A and B are shown apart, each in its own frame.
Chain A
Amino acid sequence: MDLLEYQAKELFSKVGIPILPSQPIADPRQIKKLQIPYPVVLKSQVRAGGRGKAGGIRFVENTIDAIAAAQYIFNLPILGQYPNVILAEARYNAKEEFFLAIVLDYQLKRPVLLGSAKGGVEIEPLLENIQKVVVEADFSPFYARRLVTKMGLRGKLIQSVSAIVEKMYRLFVEKDLDIIEINPLGVGVDGEVMALDGKITINSNALVRHPDLYSLQRANNNFTNDSQSLSALPSPQWLDYQDESGNIAIVCNSLGLALVTWDLIVRDGGKPRGSLVIDRATKSELLPHYYIARSLNTALEKLSEVSGIKAVLINILGNEEITGSATNAIVDYLQLLQQKAAVKQLAIEEGSLDGSDLGSEPEPLQWIIRIVGGKKDFPEATFTEMPVRWIDDLEEAVSQTISLAKIE
């Protein structure tokens, strides 16, 4: 979970990382009661990056300007996100700007300190000058000093900047952070340092033991989409990429299976629209096997809302319990669809529904279902009115799906 800037700064302040006087504003009218002397910076509190370049940061000299700027920022989406809060902050003239970050290197399995003497919004010089120190054993302040000297800092800055890195490390460990970043760390004319902007990402698996952060997550939830980590049952998730021009939908019961299926469709000349993944396992809980039925049903309903799909390939691997539940759920869903179609047909024949209105009705979906791992028998239910195929072999299922999706 990403914290917003003002939330990150609250944490900075708690461990003694200096921040400017600031005030979160939830309503433009609050600007009149600002406690900070002008000139002031107003900053959109969204998680999307690049908000400065998008116009989400405004410098203002007086209340009238500030109200207008606040109204502008509240109505400015940045990568589709509108802010709920604006941060009003004192202005600061930095002589120099540094970049500091701590992340876990999953390859080295150790935390890594990163720093660049060219901090700020220009990415290229920042990355060109980036320095890295791996925390090999228990952390001690010398790791921080090693980083800042590698960054080329000398004199008093060695102590003052490494003290910031130490405090960042304390937060990193105490709060189970994935990332903590200060960019820029401003250096003033007298050499004092100030965290001007910062980012904190909290590890979502560790939230349970940080009740203070958990409440922030709840507060932020109305504009996030990563809320599934805390919900009781995970819902079927789309893979994070959907191709509007694709016409094949994939439904699988694990991410791995979705990847295999997607690859095969692409390599054999088909075009996936997207893939829904139903995962039965959440962390250390085992969801009851009937969960797969409920989850599949939700997935199929989600599919019915997506336009442009011609064929649906359902690929489920599991034990007898899972495949049994999945088969029943699919049969139930398709039978319901068939019934609805029959009722509609009847209404047209009886004249109570005008058949000519149906010109815009989409073609019925082609269903290709591969469920493997349980008993060999296919379900007894037949779908005389609907194109449903049960296929055991993966490659066969894929090639049928592709050819059915191509039929105009």
Chain B
Amino acid sequence: MNWKPNSKIIVQGITNNLGSYYTTRMKAYGTNIVAGICPGKGGQHLFDIPIFDLVEEAIEKVGEVETTIIFVAPERSLDAALEAIAAGIKQIIIVSAGIPPLDMVRLLKKARSTGTLILGCGSSGILIPEKMWLGTIEPHFYTPGKVGLISRSHSVCAEVALALNQAQLGQSIVVTLGKQRIIGSSFEQWLEILDRDDRTEIIVAIEHPNGLISPTLADFIAKKIKKPTIAYLAGLEVPIERNYIDALSIVTTQVSYSVPAINQEQKTILALQNAGVKVAQRPSQIPKLIKNILKKN
């Protein structure tokens, strides 16, 4: 992991409306965006940021790039990411949502072989409050501090941050993994990264029903994560259809025309508690749990 404020960042898909809107704001926030990519618009500029036709041309000009943020259309995102990997970029944030899942399978296979870190697809990126903004998280909800937030999407993060700010608890980093069923880097990977991160003292993992927080993750936290961890699962009371992510549950649901009657969520909560993870019932409970933990330490 290499998220230093002076890291060089490029934006692929800099000229589309999402890309240009956020690039301008990230740049104003102080993010070191050195180039943008848009085939056919090489030689132009967006607010002083030079635009190149190819990623490799940009790197030739600006030197080694640590991270690219991808805003291109979902059906062309695989290609954009493969171009970045071919140019030697090691960290890729894919903001575009709705990349066809088999494209993600191909991309993740490639990324495993090159050791590339992929965030997303459908990620809102990463924010280190008042230091570095990569993606589409709205920075004004966050204040600097010691609590690391990992979530699939940014809206619940913002709600949690509001509660933390009220209790004078700032955030060290906010990471959004992506809303899609298939995503690159996982809760496991980011828990490990934040466990090593000097600025982070406590980690809050936030998830929607039947997502990636599972008894297996609880096990992982118990074994590998030393820093105190809090989980907040939003939507447990909402009887919406759960999106299963493993093949057997998907097929069982499909053939039996009904949702399997496994109470996975209760199992997950129990497993988390057994792993020493505090499970918050609501955003306002999170600062209380954190203060209790800090008192004990």
Contacts and interface: CB of A to CB of B under 8 A. Distances in A.
Contacts of B162: 372, 394
A79 B98 CA distance: 29
A105 B247 contact: yes
B240 A240 contact: yes
Interface stretch (B46-54, B221-229, B254-262): B254-262
A205 B141 contact: no
B97 A263 contact: no
B252 A127 contact: yes
Given A99-B255, A286-B18, A256 B140 contact: no
A49 B257 contact: yes
20 contacts: A101-B251, A103-B247, A107-B245, A111-B102, A111-B105, A114-B251, A172-B102, A176-B101, A253-B155, A256-B153, A256-B156, A259-B209, A259-B235, A262-B237, A263-B237, A266-B237, A284-B73, A284-B77, A285-B16, A372-B162
B197 interface: no
A132 interface: yes
A110 B155 contact: no
A183 B248 CA distance: 16
A353 B40 CA distance: 66
A203 interface: yes
Contacts of A101: 251, 254
Contacts of B247: 103-105, 108, 112, 114, 132
A106 B156 contact: no
A110 B101 CA distance: 10
Contact of B138 (A111, A260, A373): A373
B15 interface: no
Contact of A241 (B141, B240, B248): B240
Contacts of B73: 283-284
Contacts of A241: 238-241
Interface string A264-283: 10110000000100000101
A203 B101 contact: yes
Nearest to B104: A109
Contact of B284 (A99, A104, A258, A395): A395
A99 B283 CA distance: 45
B129 interface: no
Which 8 residue pairs of A and B lie closest in terms of their CB atoms, listed nearest first?
A259-B235, A49-B257, A106-B245, A206-B100, A112-B247, A254-B155, A256-B155, A286-B18
Given A106-B101, A130-B248, A208-B75, A240 B241 contact: yes
Interface string A317-347: 1110000000000000000000000000000
B21 A283 contact: no
A205 B159 contact: no
Q: Which of B77, B159, B251 gathers the greatest number of chain A CB atoms within 10 Å?
A: B251
A254 B101 CA distance: 22
Interface of B: 13, 16-18, 21, 71-75, 77, 95-105, 108, 136, 138, 140-141, 152-156, 158-159, 162, 181-182, 208-209, 234-241, 245-248, 250-252, 254-257, 281-284
A181 interface: yes
A232 interface: no
Given A181-B254, A199-B254, A205 B75 contact: yes
B18 A105 contact: no
B123 to A, nearest CB: 12
Nearest to A265: B237
Contacts of B234: 256, 259-260, 263
Contacts of A109: 104-105, 108, 182
Nearest to A174: B102
A260 B159 contact: yes
Contacts of A49: 254-255, 257
Given A114-B247, A259-B235, A284-B71, A267 B138 contact: no
A96 interface: no
A179 B250 contact: yes
A263 B105 contact: no
B271 to A, nearest CB: 16
A209 interface: yes
B96 A283 contact: yes
A305 to B, nearest CB: 21
A104 B101 contact: yes
